Amino acid sequence: MIDSENIKLETFLDLKIKNNLLNLEVEFFIEKSKISINELQQYLKHKDSYLKKDNGTLIKIENEDEIKRLISIINKFKETKKTNIFEGKLYHVAELENIFANSKEYKIKYDNGYKKFLNEIELFLKEKNNNIMDIKIPPYLKKHLRNYQIDGVG
């Protein structure tokens, strides 16, 4: 029997600002069955058409592109001694947030440090956007500039 399913994800993001690290705890599921990250990596590596569940059912993964993106980010993290917990640099936050924001299949839990960090980024961006000055390029200079230079200033 062949089913078609989206892989679901439960994750907990824990931010350690002191050492600039992000801990990512991930668990993947098809329906209620857990799938290891190794199983998913093997599935993607071998470009299999189907993932075989314990009961013998073959599953066609619907959100494969999403999973590929997420696994590629997780591969940038260092696996810790604890199962399903990965440690990575803080700059991966934007990539992860982009993936999480665009999926209905992911259940995300954040620690307070992570929420505070995201709020600080949002405040910074709002302030930065409010402080942008409108600069007029003098006509004598405009004829010497290339289009991308004019676009960068204007």
Closest CA to 11 of 89, 94, 70, 95: 70
In this prediction, residue 2 has a pLDDT band, given cuts at 50, 70 and 90, of low
Residue 78: predicted pLDDT? 93
Return the domain boundaries, the chain: 2-110
The model's pLDDT over 69-118, given as tens digits with 9 standing for 90+, comes to 989 999 999 999 988 899 999 888 888 888 888 888 888 888 888 888 88
Say if residues 87 and 77 touch (Cβ distance below 8 Å).
Answer: yes
| Distance between CA atoms of residues 71 and 40, nearest Å | 8
**Minimum mean pLDDT range among 3-7, 62-66, 77-81, 88-92:** 3-7
Instruction: Give the pLDDT of residue 143.
Output: 87
